[in-house]
Structure 1
Amino acid sequence: MKLAVLASVVAVAAAFAPNQAPASSTALNAEASRKDFLAGAMAAGVAAVAGAAPANAVRDYENIGFLGGSSTVDINNANVRVYLKMPGMYPAAAGKIVTNGPYKAVSDIYSIPGLTAGEKEVMKKYESRFVALPPSADFVIDRVNNGLYR
């Protein structure tokens, strides 16, 4: 990586270095100067691309099924829209669950401030379908709006 950066710096510096051409300015000298510049710029571009570091992203989340792909829902990572499958949960109770997390246990959802008796009743109905897995930064950020930025 350091070698690629050094090569690109040298190539750029060479492209902007003064030309040792004769003092007479002709169209031929201008053409040669342009070719030298383009060659240096291309070398810098190749060096930059060749030295790019690989992206080490997590591609597979082992608990992906709990984000809406199964009947069990992870209350710490699932998006608010997952609760659409549970009549009575969306939008009020679901919104309170996703905005007041993370939770250590499923039973923690009953201590959400401002929860009505009706919302508690609906949550109790679906409690067996909830699981509280550790929050994942990849999913917590979009729990409320599901990445729908308009």
Structure 2
Amino acid sequence: MMRQIILLAIIAVVAAFAPMRMTTSRTQLSMKSNDFKTIAASIIGASLFFGNVARAEVDYEGVKYLGGGDKIDLNNANIRAYLKLPGLYPTIAGKIVTSGPFKTVADLYNIPSLSNTEKDTLKKYEGKFLVLDPKPEYVLDKINNGLYR
């Protein structure tokens, strides 16, 4: 047992005086160059200063025909625009907004599901309708504009 203790003591002394490995460390500052981030930041920055103006149509001239005026655009008006015309909302108005687009007001009478009494009701308001080119931003909300009570 004594021999084992002496052997362990010798190993510990030898290990204590063994030369350590040399580690090198840099004393200079280093920064990783990331060209992709630099180029991306330059493009984003340039787009802020040299980008085109948004091509959104700010003042749509047909807004007055979407239900706020005397006439209703058959291709773009929301179903609730027909509330002003008694007898049209919701049945006939639903058939109008789910049909189309229309090229003329007369195309309105070609809706297959219209009955003769519904056509007579439409005839009464024919002067209040007009047809403009369908605009995607308004056609999307013709059936449900998301306004709830």
Deviation at 1:25, TM superposition (A): 4.6
Distance 1:124 1:43, change over 3 A: closer
- Which is greater in Rg? 2
State the Cα deviation string for residues 39-83 of structure 1 (Å, max 9, x = none). 959954534533544312111112221111111111111111101
Any stretches of 5+ residues in structure 1 without a counterpart?
A: 1-22
- Is 2:85 aligned against 1:86? yes
Partner in structure 1 of residue 7 of structure 2: none
Please tell me the residue identity of whatever aligns with 2:29.
N
Structure that is richer in helix per residue = 1
Q: How does 1:93-104 map to 2 (within 5 A)?
A: 93-104=92-103
Q: Structure 2 unaligned segments of length 5 or more: list them.
A: 1-23
Q: Per-residue displacement from partner, 1:102-150 (whole Å, max 9, x unpaired)?
A: 112212111101112332222122111111223233322222222x299
Q: Percent identity?
A: 43
1:129 counterpart letter in structure 2? K
Counterpart for residue 25 of structure 2: 24
Q: TM-score, length-normalised on structure 2?
A: 0.65
Distance 2:39 2:132 in 1: 51
Aligned to 1:145: 144
Q: In 1, Cα distance between the equivalents of 2:39 and 2:147?
A: 38
The 1:120/1:48 distance shift into structure 2, 3 A limit, reads: same
Task: Give the direction of change, closer, same or farther, for the CA distance of 1:89–1:41 in structure 2 (3 Å limit).
Answer: same
The 1-side partners of 2:49 and 2:131 are apart by 44
Count of matched residue positions in the alignment of Structure 1 and Structure 2: 122
Cα 1:50–1:145 change in 2 (3 A) is same
Q: RMSD value over aligned CA atoms?
A: 3.1
